Structure 1
Amino acid sequence: MNNNRGNQSKQGFKAMMSPYYQRFKRHFSRFWHRYQLTRWLIVGILTLIFVISATLTFQAKTANVGDLKAQLEKTTYIYDKSNQRAGSLYKQKGTFVSLNRISPNVQKAVISTEDRNFYHEHGFSVKGIARAFFLLAKNKLLHRDYISGGGSTLTQQLVKNAFLTQEQTLTRKLKEIFLAIEVENVYSKQDILSMYLNNAYFGNGVWGVQDAAHKYFGTDAAHLTVPESAVLAGMLTSPSGFNPIDHPQASKDRRNVVLGLMAETGAITKSQATSYQQTPLTTQDTYQYKDSYRYPYYFDAVIDEAISKYGLTESDIMNHGYKIYTYLDQNYQARLQENFKNDYLFPQNSTDGTKVQAASVAVNPNNGGVMAVVGGRGKHVFRGYNRATQVKRQPGSTMKPLAVYTPALENGYFYDSELQNKKTSYGSNHYTPKNYNNVYTGKMPMYEALANSVNAPAVWLLNKIGVDKGYESVKKFGIPVTKSDKNLALALGGLNKGVSPQELAGAYTAFANNGTRTDTHYIRKIVDASGNVIVDNPRVATHDVMTPKVAKQMTSMMLGVFNNGTGATAKPYGYSVAGKTGSTEADDTGDGDATRDKWIVGYTPDVVLTTWEGFDNTNKNHHLENLSGTGVGPLFKTEMEEILPYTKQTQFDTQDASTLAKASQSDDNFWDSVQKGAGDVGDQIEQGANNAADTVKKWWQGAFGN
């Protein structure tokens, strides 16, 4: 009963609306034909297709397809400062071999399995495209935003691995097709097949058919048999699932399928396929991974700079056969790395076994080129945490030359100016810097305060010259300070964000290079696989930080740090080194002598070396001991003793300030003595003259009377 009423209602509604619908239909049809909307729709669709095709064609034409073979054939190499090969970079690359060194069995197996019409199509398959669109429509209905499968040709698979990501979307599929067409325009089928086989992934971290042949069968690609070739061809769809070492049965089953496909295409006969399918699957692993990533932290930094400064991607750098020329000194780098493996050069681990971490970086002060860098102890992680460039820690007393003594010399003070050394409170917050061991002497000369890293005189002096001048000085040294750092704590390295060892080394290059600082950098030149120079002696910013005279005076004072100051135990035997030590307190540890960071920066006219030590996470169970600057000394001393013999050993053009002060004092004493001596002689002459006059007078009186 209810259903009849519902049907009657629907029919009534349709009958009521029918005249309106018919009227709308007539008007719409008249409008559609009047303005020829069918034609405009076709034009719009064709225009859209044209725009998309033009865009994709342009992208394909500008994708440097012509360099693809060279990029796949060649490995990216890193060169040192002397243009000597230092190592190589590769991620998705194996040993490249020409097609005539790859067994025809492999070629037939791959073509039979992956792309039967390879020699008869121009980079794409119409059936494959139709299947891709069908699967796209199906997935859209199922609310899936990807393409399942796709029937890509060998050329499409090649460009997908070489140029594109592995995402499965319509956009990527269209790009793949147009790039494949461009590759077919540029290369022969033999070249394409060779590039594909050398760039394919075969599981277990192995790329390319040559290395795969050694990994699974202990032979060259040229000597692979039909069954072995079928195994490798079968792995292309699932390198891990059909891996003959880890999944022998699955690999054998897949091999037999491939052998059947080879029989279907006529690559082998059916009787041969049957015979081969009965053979056992045996493996032999003779593959040896060649790790030429010899200087991991340095190479990491080179990759980072190539990406951040020159717009390359990690994949480009690792796989496209570049030559990258750097400032690397292999002697420096090798010795730093060896030193970081020597546990005797470091403080003991914490009670739970956590290592004290460290970082060192050596910079050429004349051009800012980084010559060596090590970013940590223990196992290296590719492009992982590099403490030399990424750690941000308070620099402690290494900031005193930058924030206090340099601007003081620029504002009328002298290296031997007397500074107040008293416990003093400053400002409304009663900031009271303390000396180590709470020892105060009332006064002391500037060079002595610097050499012994005495806190009270440094803060007193910054207060005298003005915090603004100290702050601006630190900025000129390239230290990343903020307005919140503009206070007297700046004298002792009290920064909110801290600095990295590389930033501190870069700052000290100004002292070693007559007052001029050059931004630190790694890369001199980049050449692509086709021989095109894409980076050549890039212009690096230089900064006039101070006058050569001030730089010379600062070096004079900082020589005292290693001669008789806080860095005396870290002085390399037989060499003169200037620089500064620094340390920071570890708060909230319950230990008043606990230290968070230890620094030493040392330099000659040829090299600046910064070394830092500390725990990644400082707490009551993980901290260094003692606030003195000697804790990092053994490492720094050893590093310098092994680096300096390889430098030009340029000598400083000044002496230790304490030596100059003693000489000056000796000169003053000499002139005082000369002046006193001259006075004594005059007195004697005057006394002699008076005595002679008295004698003559007495003679005259005796002879002639009064």
Structure 2
Amino acid sequence: MPPGRRAIPARRPSRFPRNQKRLGAPMTQELSGRKTARRSRRRSRVLIALGIVIALLATAVVVVVVSLPDDLTIGRLSQKSNIYATAGDGTPTLLASFYDQNRVEVSSDAISQYVKDAATSGEDPGFYDHGGINIMGTLTGAATTLFTGEVRGGSSITQQYVKNVLVQECEALSDDDERMSCYDTATETSPDRKLKEMSLAVGLEKKYSKDDILRQYLNITGFGGSVYGIEAAANYYYNTTAAALTLPQAASLVAIVNNPVKFQLDVPENPENGAANGYAANKDRRDYILDEMLRLKKISAADHEAAIAAPIEPTITEPSTGCQTAGGSAFFCDLVLQTLRNDPAFGADADTRLANFRLGGYNVYTTLDLDLQTAALDTLAENVPTTYDDWDVGGVVTSVGVGSGRVLAMAQNKDYSQDPAVQATGANYTGINYNTDLGQGGSNGFQTGSTYKVFTLAEWLNQGNSLGDTASSWERSDWGEFEDSCNGPQDYGTDFAPSNDSSSDDDSYYSALESTIDSINTGYIGMAKELDLCNIRKTAEAFGVHRADGAALEQGASAVLGTNEIAPLTMAAAYAGIANNGVTCSPIVIDRITGPGGAELPAPQSTCAQSVSSEVAAAMTYAMQRVMTRGSGTPSYYDTEPEVPMIGKTGTTDENKDTWMAGASTKVATIAGVVNVSGAGEDQRETYFESGQAAKARHRMWPDMMSVANAKFGGDEFTEPPRDLVR
């Protein structure tokens, strides 16, 4: 450079070629690369920070978890309970199941290995290696949620099991508010809850083997809706057992556990499952589990390939749930449920009984004999319609074992439903059990007509009278005063004028035997006038007789003719007591109960008491046998095959609104009747069903029932009464 001249700095070369705009493509690519690099550096810094946080959290969690209590008491799992009847060959037959949670707890050897491997591979690959906590998985999920807002899991199988156990403890609470508060605490998203869960998981791992924890996890976890546990899931989704599940079925069911709503198999139209394939979401999750099983060498490549190719084809099998699934035996089933809920033998108090009922896991073996029950259902269907114009018609049949109180059959002419919406669809539906008391099934009972007269006969004999002794029996309008040691003398004046059936003679005096054979009203009022009305009531009560509505038995003179509303089951038990030499046994519907694990539990027991002396009972059966062979019961007696010694009594209420046939062998007592449910209806002598006159339907049903009972159980001779009671 020449002296004295200033150096001219060289022009900085442009970053852009000449004539190229700054917003051109090469500029954009370079900037984009730099931005990507910056994002990559930021992500690295986040990941480094995330790692630091995880490490710090891991250290803190270990310290905190170790200091927390780790003892978890594992209670009973809520399970399905079953109600059984007895088939003709003596084997139990399922009537219905009921549950809050459809679950059947099974042992480890009853669960397919495919299920166990699918669960560990998909939910917790390190299950057999960690001490209860997948610490890095849990904290990675927590930190990811913290930094990115994306909710991530990471709980081990043991942790998931702990959470389910805590939820089950809530489910066992009988108080609704307490149960919901407990549930909110057990499922809240909070560090405290998570730390407690982790501590309890560590404690569990100290007490139980890995295989046992896995078994309990598979029994407790939810599989969508009310389906809980792998056995119920296999039953419901694939109509098979947990032991028989195939590889693709096992993986598909385990997939549901991850998100029961998203991956469920019983709602294929779920929008979350994809429109093209109703099970697309489940298949994606299933195939992921299959991939993990292959990676962890739980299955072979060939098995993996075949399972991936297998379509998802559930066979939804609805479980029997509720008494409505018991068909014609639903009303008996309902009585069983009422017994379980109300009987002290099932729990010390109402709360305990309700808690037991909610937890389930019971097998209840009832007294119902399906041979007799089938006969009851068939004869009702043939002889009494479910509905009839202008008449709320009811038909009932109940049979009770003599000497045991076991209810062998119980049926009525209606379809069972406790759903008001269903009941509104037709008069053929009802939730009321006509055979039982108000507190057992909602019925107020029915007037019994002359079937009630046998209790006056019993008191007549109690007082030393014989069957041959007579009473003033002519029809009159003023019966005067009756003795009543409870309420004082009762004077009926001209307000009480019972009459006899047109078929009876109009004699002035009838013997007790004649009045019984021909069911003569005035003969029985004449007997009552010589007795104490209060004592007649007490004698009826000695046979277990009571009003269905819970009120005290009426004991006026008209009550002698059967004006009290009484449940058919009550009358069947009373007639069984007469046939049992005067020893009445309260009706029972349960033979035995087993609890979770098969342990025998106390079942409600029949209580038996001597209602009248055996001599009095023998005289009663002497008269009631002749009702069957010579009197108003002959249509039922001579249509029963095979014939065995039988006792009986007919009953008809005012205007022929209700008609009854009650009787027994020495083995089985049966009540059959046609009634007006609402109290107003047709004169049965003027009404004809397809099977014949309505008033005679009782004489078609009763022999149908007793023919089956006699063929199955036989019948012995009744005890001969002392001569002085028959003279």
Normalised to the residue count of structure 1, the TM-score between the two structures is: 0.65
- Tell whether the 8 Å contact from 2:132 to 2:159 is kept in structure 1 after alignment: no
- Residue among 420, 431, 455 paired with 2:496: 431
* Alignment partner, residue 362 of structure 1: 399
- Tell whether the 8 Å contact from 1:517 to 1:543 is kept in structure 2 after alignment: yes
CA distance in 1: counterparts of 2:683 and 2:223, whole angstroms: 45
Give 1:602 shift. 0.7
* Alignment partner, residue 251 of structure 2: 229
* Alignment partner, residue 377 of structure 2: 340
Give 1:419 shift. 2.4
Larger displacement relative to structure 2 (225-234 or 467-476): 225-234
- Residue among 545, 551, 555 paired with 1:486: 555
What SS is found at the alignment partner of 1:637? Answer: helix
- 1:306 equivalent to 2:371? Answer no
Q: What do residues 323-352 of structure 1 show as CA deviations (whole Å, max 9, x unaligned)?
A: 555545x3xx32332442346741456544
RMSD of aligned alpha carbons: 5.1
* Alignment partner, residue 599 of structure 1: 660
- Residue among 510, 516, 523 paired with 2:577: 510
CA distance in 1: counterparts of 2:510 and 2:383, whole angstroms: 34
- Residue among 437, 460, 466 paired with 2:532: 466
- Residue among 197, 215, 222 paired with 1:194: 215
Give 1:387 shift. 2.6
CA distance in 1: counterparts of 2:241 and 2:319, whole angstroms: 15
- Tell whether the 8 Å contact from 1:113 to 1:261 is kept in structure 2 after alignment: yes
- Tell whether the 8 Å contact from 1:216 to 1:245 is kept in structure 2 after alignment: no
**Which structure dedicates a bigger proportion of its chain to helix?**
1
Larger displacement relative to structure 2 (611-620 or 458-467): 611-620
The within-5 A match list for 1:622-701 is 625=686, 630-654=696-720
- Tell whether the 8 Å contact from 2:86 to 2:367 is kept in structure 1 after alignment: yes
- Tell whether the 8 Å contact from 2:468 to 2:513 is kept in structure 1 after alignment: yes
Give 1:405 shift. 1.3
User: What amino acid sits opposite 1:285 in the alignment?
Assistant: T
Give 1:250 shift. 2.9
Give 1:463 shift. 2.1
> Residues 205 and 311 of structure 1: is their aligned pair in 2 closer, same or farther, counting only changes over 3 Å?
same
Q: What do residues 26-81 of structure 1 show as CA deviations (whole Å, max 9, x unaligned)?
A: xxxxxxxxxxxxxxxxxxxxxxxxxxx99x98xx75x755xx5xx96x97574859
Q: What do residues 457-506 of structure 1 show as CA deviations (whole Å, max 9, x unaligned)?
A: 212221221212212212212212555712111101112xx211111112
User: What amino acid sits opposite 1:368 in the alignment?
Assistant: G
Q: What do residues 86-142 of structure 1 show as CA deviations (whole Å, max 9, x unaligned)?
A: 2346445467665566566655665688789977576999989x99xxxxxxxxxxx
Give 1:407 shift. 0.9
- Residue among 497, 500, 509 paired with 1:443: 509
User: What amino acid sits opposite 1:468 in the alignment?
Assistant: C
- 1:414 equivalent to 2:466? Answer yes
User: What amino acid sits opposite 1:87 in the alignment?
Assistant: T
Q: What do residues 644-666 of structure 1 show as CA deviations (whole Å, max 9, x unaligned)?
A: 12224211233899xx98xx7xx
- Tell whether the 8 Å contact from 1:365 to 1:605 is kept in structure 2 after alignment: yes
User: What amino acid sits opposite 1:304 in the alignment?
Assistant: Q
- Residue among 618, 640, 645 paired with 1:576: 645
CA distance in 2: counterparts of 1:95 and 1:227, whole angstroms: 18
- Tell whether the 8 Å contact from 1:227 to 1:255 is kept in structure 2 after alignment: no
User: What amino acid sits opposite 2:475 in the alignment?
Assistant: K
* Alignment partner, residue 689 of structure 1: none
- Tell whether the 8 Å contact from 2:581 to 2:719 is kept in structure 1 after alignment: no
Q: What do residues 666-691 of structure 1 show as CA deviations (whole Å, max 9, x unaligned)?
A: xxxxxxxxxxxxxxxxxxxxxxxxxx
Q: What do residues 393-430 of structure 1 show as CA deviations (whole Å, max 9, x unaligned)?
A: 1111111111x211112223220222223222341462
- Tell whether the 8 Å contact from 1:418 to 1:445 is kept in structure 2 after alignment: yes
- Tell whether the 8 Å contact from 2:84 to 2:363 is kept in structure 1 after alignment: yes
Give 1:579 shift. 1.8
* Alignment partner, residue 182 of structure 2: 171
Q: What do residues 506-531 of structure 1 show as CA deviations (whole Å, max 9, x unaligned)?
A: 21233112222222223344343445
CA distance in 2: counterparts of 1:525 and 1:569, whole angstroms: 38
User: What amino acid sits opposite 2:580 in the alignment?
Assistant: N
User: What amino acid sits opposite 1:570 in the alignment?
Assistant: S
- 1:373 equivalent to 2:404? Answer no
> Residues 633 and 321 of structure 1: is their aligned pair in 2 closer, same or farther, counting only changes over 3 Å?
same
> Residues 249 and 617 of structure 1: is their aligned pair in 2 closer, same or farther, counting only changes over 3 Å?
same
User: What amino acid sits opposite 2:704 in the alignment?
Assistant: T
Give 1:631 shift. 3.3
- Tell whether the 8 Å contact from 2:220 to 2:229 is kept in structure 1 after alignment: yes
CA distance in 1: counterparts of 2:102 and 2:337, whole angstroms: 17
What SS is found at the alignment partner of 2:447? Answer: coil
* Alignment partner, residue 433 of structure 2: 386
User: What amino acid sits opposite 1:643 in the alignment?
Assistant: A
- Tell whether the 8 Å contact from 2:341 to 2:354 is kept in structure 1 after alignment: yes
- Tell whether the 8 Å contact from 1:363 to 1:609 is kept in structure 2 after alignment: yes
CA distance in 2: counterparts of 1:218 and 1:430, whole angstroms: 68
> Residues 655 and 518 of structure 1: is their aligned pair in 2 closer, same or farther, counting only changes over 3 Å?
closer
CA distance in 2: counterparts of 1:183 and 1:429, whole angstroms: 83
What SS is found at the alignment partner of 2:711? Answer: helix
CA distance in 2: counterparts of 1:524 and 1:236, whole angstroms: 42
- Tell whether the 8 Å contact from 1:396 to 1:493 is kept in structure 2 after alignment: yes
- Residue among 476, 479, 494 paired with 2:542: 476
User: What amino acid sits opposite 1:609 in the alignment?
Assistant: T
Q: What do residues 572-627 of structure 1 show as CA deviations (whole Å, max 9, x unaligned)?
A: 24232112111223xxxxxxx451x2222111222222223224334347977579
Give 1:565 shift. 1.4
Give 1:445 shift. 1.9
Larger displacement relative to structure 2 (118-127 or 555-564): 118-127
The within-5 A match list for 1:561-572 is 561-571=627-637, 572=640
> Residues 183 and 435 of structure 1: is their aligned pair in 2 closer, same or farther, counting only changes over 3 Å?
farther
* Alignment partner, residue 615 of structure 2: 549
- Tell whether the 8 Å contact from 2:472 to 2:508 is kept in structure 1 after alignment: yes
* Alignment partner, residue 426 of structure 2: none
Give percent identity, aligned residues only: 18
> Residues 190 and 618 of structure 1: is their aligned pair in 2 closer, same or farther, counting only changes over 3 Å?
farther
CA distance in 2: counterparts of 1:542 and 1:277, whole angstroms: 63
- Residue among 549, 552, 567 paired with 1:500: 567
> Residues 233 and 283 of structure 1: is their aligned pair in 2 closer, same or farther, counting only changes over 3 Å?
same
> Residues 480 and 81 of structure 1: is their aligned pair in 2 closer, same or farther, counting only changes over 3 Å?
farther
CA distance in 2: counterparts of 1:524 and 1:277, whole angstroms: 47
* Alignment partner, residue 528 of structure 1: 595
Larger displacement relative to structure 2 (175-184 or 382-391): 175-184
Give 1:219 shift. 7.4
User: What amino acid sits opposite 2:557 in the alignment?
Assistant: L
> Residues 649 and 115 of structure 1: is their aligned pair in 2 closer, same or farther, counting only changes over 3 Å?
same
> Residues 358 and 408 of structure 1: is their aligned pair in 2 closer, same or farther, counting only changes over 3 Å?
same
* Alignment partner, residue 145 of structure 2: none
Give 1:156 shift. 2.8
What SS is found at the alignment partner of 1:485? Answer: coil
Instruction: Structure 2 unaligned segments of length 5 or more: list them.
Output: 1-67, 143-157, 188-192, 274-278, 348-352, 419-429, 480-491, 688-692
- Residue among 137, 157, 160 paired with 1:153: 160
Q: What do residues 686-705 of structure 1 show as CA deviations (whole Å, max 9, x unaligned)?
A: xxxxxxxxxxxxxxxxxxxx
Give 1:306 shift. 3.4
What SS is found at the alignment partner of 1:375? Answer: strand
What SS is found at the alignment partner of 2:709? Answer: helix
- Tell whether the 8 Å contact from 1:327 to 1:522 is kept in structure 2 after alignment: yes
- Residue among 269, 272, 289 paired with 1:250: 272
- 1:397 equivalent to 2:450? Answer yes
What SS is found at the alignment partner of 2:653? Answer: strand
Normalised to the residue count of structure 2, the TM-score between the two structures is: 0.63
Give 1:635 shift. 0.5
- Tell whether the 8 Å contact from 1:555 to 1:578 is kept in structure 2 after alignment: yes
User: What amino acid sits opposite 2:315 in the alignment?
Assistant: D
Instruction: Structure 1 unaligned segments of length 5 or more: list them.
Output: 1-52, 132-150, 586-592, 665-706
CA distance in 1: counterparts of 2:89 and 2:559, whole angstroms: 42
